Amino acid sequence: MDKNNFNGGNNQNKKPDNKGPQTAVILVVAAVITLLIFSFVNNLVTDSTKKEITYNEFMKMVEDDQVKSVVIGTDSIVITPKTTKTDRVLATPIMIYYTGIVDDENLPQKLMDAGVSVKGQIPDRTGFLESLMMTIIPLVIMWMLLSFLFSKMAKGSGMMGVGKSNAKVYVEKETGVTFKDVAGEDEAKESLQEVVDFLHNPGKYSAIGAKLPKGALLVGPPGTGKTLLAKAVAGEAHVPFFSMAGSDFVEMFVGVGASRVRDLFKEAEKAAPCIIFIDEIDAIGKSRDARYGGDSEREQTLNQLLAEMDGFDTSKGILILAATNRPEVLDKALLRPGRFDRRVIVDKPDLKGRVEILKVHAKDVMMDESVDLDAIALATSGAVGSDLANMINEAAINAVKQGRKLVSQADLFEAVEVVLVGKEKKDRIMSLEERRIVSYHEVGHALISALEKDAEPVQKITIVPRTMGALGYVMNVPEEEKFLNTEAELRTMLVKFLAGRAAEEIVFGNVTTGASNDIEKATDIARAMVTQYGMSKKFGLMGLETVESKYLSNKASMQCADATAAEVDKEVMALLKESYDRAKELLTENRECLDKIAEFLIEKETITGKEFMRIFHEIKGIPSEDDAKNEMIEEKTQEICEDKVETDTTQPEVIQKDGVVVELKGSTETESKG
């Protein structure tokens, strides 16, 4: 569709030319402004250089020889005083005096006797022409300026255009976004693909009586791709795309928002079929009750939006898409069927979705053979599309900084850490004592992960400070994607969070401020177990908290009496104390592991999960995975040899049993894994 046709198509219905009245208004306004300016300037000059005096004062000045010259007019006498030497040196402006005419026939003679230059006023024939020119020139300038301002106001349909919609219009070729560019949101794409098909083939739907949904509300956390999905719908449908943010409707003038809504829908009707996208619609669509607070401007804008959504004809192919992170604050009238018929959830991607998103963002990035996007996706549970895109970009930047042309797996893991915990603070040098405290703290966390069966495996331990405030951290990577947590897993999390503080107390007999974030996380989990998950024997299955702002802060508010809230606090305290005691018990029993791994970490500063488990197994006397594998091969080989009674020494024979291949050749045996 031609972009030039968006502003009304043909010109058959031109508005009448109103330039005549408009020019007259401009001239009148310009004349008034010019007269006001001249009056102001004239008064300013008069006040600063002229002064009226009495006739007696004038005669006293003549007697005192202070008058240089006078000009006798028809109704006044203009007096020019003599200047002193000091005035001439300082270049002091001459003050001109004037007084009224008094019937005194001897005045000219008195002035001449006093040596005053006397002159009569001659009518100025050029005064009218000068006044006319001094009026016309500013008038022309003011007319040109006001013509420009009035033209802008006319185009803006209001005071400086505040009432006109400033929606950005995208044509399909300009968006360049299709569903192929959106990964990890299969359910959302499937729901919107039906809308696209309706725009392409309205006949097959209308034949059965189906109607195009008036609107679809995209709901989800920030960064999940809601705006990208809206652009993809426009790109797939090959229709114009009108995009505005909710805040674009609201101005300081009451009524402007409603005017912009009317203008937006008027432009959309001209360009139909098309898509209107309103981002952050909660800026104008908040509930009209007193809870969330509203004002008359937002309510007028919302009322106009509701009226427009009821008024337009769906058969014209106008689809409204809106996005928000806060669906709970939207007005109920906006969410009812007939306005926003569909709610499309654009949630955080799962493991499969994160892999697809990483592939989309990595397709134009040069990577080596060590890159495993599945491992990166597994390590970034909870990350949204914008986070993953940022990680790929950070990895590419890191590779360039290192002077390499290909991105490696190490670059990607470093990028994950940069996004999650910030960059390394190389300028922060901790004392040896602080390094020991941080090392024992982090090893305390890691040991619980190795000792408890419900804990996630350790990927990395470091005591290198990061820019987001961490002096060290333990990275845990789950073995598989999980959507539920058992009570045992949650209790293990509590023990792991509090193990850092427990290690400090066990080793140093004192505690530090380093566990503040761990305590906060543990308290949140313990409170959720009691108030939301029904994992408390005292309160049972009673729900005591309600989650608000699910897609933003995810904060919970208590829904119980104050006395019950106090009992909840006691239950949470008991749960945390039980977990802390469990952490101290486990670390005390494994003090040797705690000391040796902490010493190794102080020396190396950063160790991998494999190094950590190797040291742990050596201390505990547990065979490693490689040792267990070799032992299994030897056992299988021995069984095969015992089963073989006769062996041909000339012809080698290959026997396979339980996945182990053994080649028998005389008395020589070689084995390999099948």
Residue-by-residue DSSP string for 475-532: EE--SS--S---HHHHHHHHHHHHHHHHHHHHHHSS--GGGHHHHHHHHHHHHHHHHT
Cα–Cα dist 642/2, whole Å: 84
- Which CA distances in Å does 15 have to 12, 260, 431? 9, 21, 80
Residue 412 DSSP SS3: helix
Cα–Cα dist 240/169, whole Å: 7
Sort 149 into a burial class: Cβ within 10 Å, 0-12 / 13-18 / 19+: exposed
Cα–Cα dist 82/91, whole Å: 14
Q: What is the DSSP letter of 82?
A: P
- Please say if 105 is a catalytic residue: no
Backbone angles phi and psi of 54, in degrees to 5: -80, 165
Are residues 382 and 482 in contact, defined by beta-carbon separation less than 8 angstroms? no
Q: Tokens standing for 439?
A: 């090392």
Are residues 261 and 305 in contact, defined by beta-carbon separation less than 8 angstroms? yes
Strand intervals (E) in 424-472 = 458-462
Name the residue among 509, 420, 517, 433 with its Cα closest to residue 460: 420
Q: Which residue has the tokens 């959106």?
A: 182
Sort 627 into a burial class: Cβ within 10 Å, 0-12 / 13-18 / 19+: exposed
CA neighbours closer than 13 Å in the CB half-sphere of residue 533:
17
Are residues 320 and 167 in contact, defined by beta-carbon separation less than 8 angstroms? no
Cα–Cα dist 587/474, whole Å: 16
SS3 track for 325-394 = CCHHHECHHHHCCCCCCEEEECCCCCHHHHHHHHHHHHCCCCECCCCCHHHHHHHCCCCCHHHHHHHHHH
Beta-carbon contacts of residue 262 (< 8 Å; ≥ 6 apart): 304, 308
SS3 track for 607-632 = EEHHHHHHHHHHHHCCCCHHHHHHHH
Q: What is the DSSP letter of 253?
A: S
Q: Tokens standing for 226?
A: 């809601």
For residue 642, the one-letter residue type is E
Q: Tokens standing for 435?
A: 């390094």
CA angle in degrees (0–180, nearest 5) for 223-228-232: 160
Backbone angles phi and psi of 156, in degrees to 5: -85, -5
Name the residue among 293, 299, 239 with its Cα closest to residue 271: 239
Cα–Cα dist 81/97, whole Å: 8
- Which CA distances in Å does 54 have to 98, 120, 265? 8, 20, 73
Cβ of 220: how many Cβ atoms within 10 Å?
23
Helix or strand run (H / E) with residue 446: helix 432-451
Choice among 185, 414, 442, 456 that is catalytic: 442
Active site residues: 442
